[in-house]
Amino acid sequence: MAQYTINYLTGDVETVEADGVEYDGIAGDYTFTGPDGMGVIALAPAANVRSIVRQDDEAVTG
C-alpha cells in the first residue's frame, strides 16, 4: 500500500497507508480505501485539509 501524508490547516500532519484516495463531494471528505477500492481505511474532512501527498513506493536515484 502507498503512504499518504495529510497536512491539515491546523498544522497537524497525519500519515495513512492506503491503496487509493478519492474525494467525496457530497460528504465533503477524502476517503482512503484498501485494496481494489474496498473498505474505508480513513476519512479526512476536506474543509480542514491543506494538502495530501502520496509518497513514492521506492526512491529512484541516478
Which residues, in sequence order, are bridge partners of residue 23? 30
pLDDT of residue 15: 96
- CB of 32 within 8 A of CB of 42? yes
Which residues, in sequence order, are bridge partners of residue 2? 18
At residue 19's C-alpha, the angle toward residues 34 and 58, to 5°, is 145
pLDDT of residue 1: 84
pLDDT of residue 38: 84
pLDDT of residue 59: 61
Residue ranges of domains in the chain, CATH in brackets = 2-53 (2.30.30)
Give CA–CA dist 62/44, Å, rounded.
35
- The three cell numbers of residue 45 are 474532512
Residue ranges, the chain, pLDDT below 50: none
pLDDT of residue 44: 96
Give CA–CA dist 24/31, Å, rounded.
7
